């Protein structure tokens, strides 16, 4: 399986998770409080189920890439699914806010964003975590189908993220994946200062403005 084929497989997994979550949201009835309680009970379990699938997909992909790179040492990739129950429940509560107000937002749309992002996260966590634990891995690169200019910038030049602290930045409805890079096939240049900085979890207003200007100018 190529990196793009693995990305497509992940997209199928997340799409199925979103479909089931949306079906659940549309099936429950009653007051907004009752409907929210039903999602808080059911959706975290649904995400957990599909997260196991996305993490297993990534672990298989990692080992296949390692074999293709002809790495001779032994290493068994492990699926990584972090406990994000509290954050997921908060996100689900946020997704149901339109049931309680007249904001005009779609609860289904918000819920889809939450489920897609959280179901895809274990795939990326599995690649980046195993890369840090594997002595023959030098980093990972971002694989995207084009998409937004932010993702294109982060994947530009086939940049390899070698720093252990490098974060895989993902927005809602982001279908990018991480591809491990090994000592035997390290053919990419390391990510630039701009790429590393853009991957940070938090940025100052000045840094966000500078990033927008950079994207508008070059992408």
SS3 per-residue string spanning the chain: CCHHHHHHHHHHHHHHHHHHHHHHHHHCCCCHHHHHHHHHHHHHHHHHHHHHHHHHHHHHHHHHHHHHCCCCCCCCCCCCCCCCHHHHHHHHHHHCHHHCCCCCCCHHHHHHHHHHHHHHHHHHHHHHHHHHHCCCEEEEEEECCCCCHHHHHHHHHHCEECCCCCCCCCCCCCCCEEEEEECCCCCCCECCHHHHHHCCCCCCHHHHHHHHHHHHHHC
Lowest mean pLDDT among 44-48, 68-72, 77-81, 185-189: 185-189
161 pairs with which residues across the strands?
140
Reported as a pLDDT band with limits 50, 70 and 90, residue 185 is: confident
Count CB atoms within 10 A of the CB of residue 101.
Answer: 9
**What's the total number of domains in the chain?**
1
Report the mean per-residue pLDDT for the chain: 93
- Mean pLDDT on 40-57: 97
Q: How confident is the model at residue 63, as a pLDDT?
A: 97
Residues of the domain holding 155 = 3-218
Reported as a pLDDT band with limits 50, 70 and 90, residue 104 is: low
Measured CA distances, 146 to 68, 102, 112, 122 (Å): 25, 35, 21, 22
- Write out pLDDT tens, residues 115-173: 999 999 999 999 999 999 999 999 999 999 777 999 999 999 999 999 999 999 998 88
């Amino acid at each position: 399986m190529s990196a793009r084929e693995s990305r497509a497989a992940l997209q199928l997994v997340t799409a199925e998770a979103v479909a089931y979550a949306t079906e659940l949201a549309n099936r429950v009835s009653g007051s907004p409080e009752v409907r929210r309680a039903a999602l808080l009970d059911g959706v975290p379990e649904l995400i957990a189920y599909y997260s196991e699938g996305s993490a297993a997909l990534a672990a298989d992909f990692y080992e296949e890439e390692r074999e293709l790179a002809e790495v001779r040492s032994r290493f068994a990739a492990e699926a990584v699914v972090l406990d994000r129950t509290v954050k997921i429940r908060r996100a689900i509560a946020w997704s149901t806010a339109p049931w309680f107000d007249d904001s005009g937002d779609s609860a289904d749309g918000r819920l889809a964003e939450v489920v897609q992002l959280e179901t895809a996260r274990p795939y990326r966590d599995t690649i980046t975590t195993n890369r840090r634990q594997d002595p023959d891995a030098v980093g990972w690169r971002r694989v995207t189908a084009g998409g937004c200019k932010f993702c294109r910038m982060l994947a530009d030049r086939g940049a390899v993220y070698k720093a252990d602290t490098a974060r895989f930045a993902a927005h809602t409805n982001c279908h990018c994946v991480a591809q491990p890079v090994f000592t035997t096939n390290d053919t990419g240049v390391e990510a630039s200062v701009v790429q590393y900085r853009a991957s940070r979890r938090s940025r100052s207003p000045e840094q966000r403005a500078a990033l927008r200007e950079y994207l508008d100018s070059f992408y």
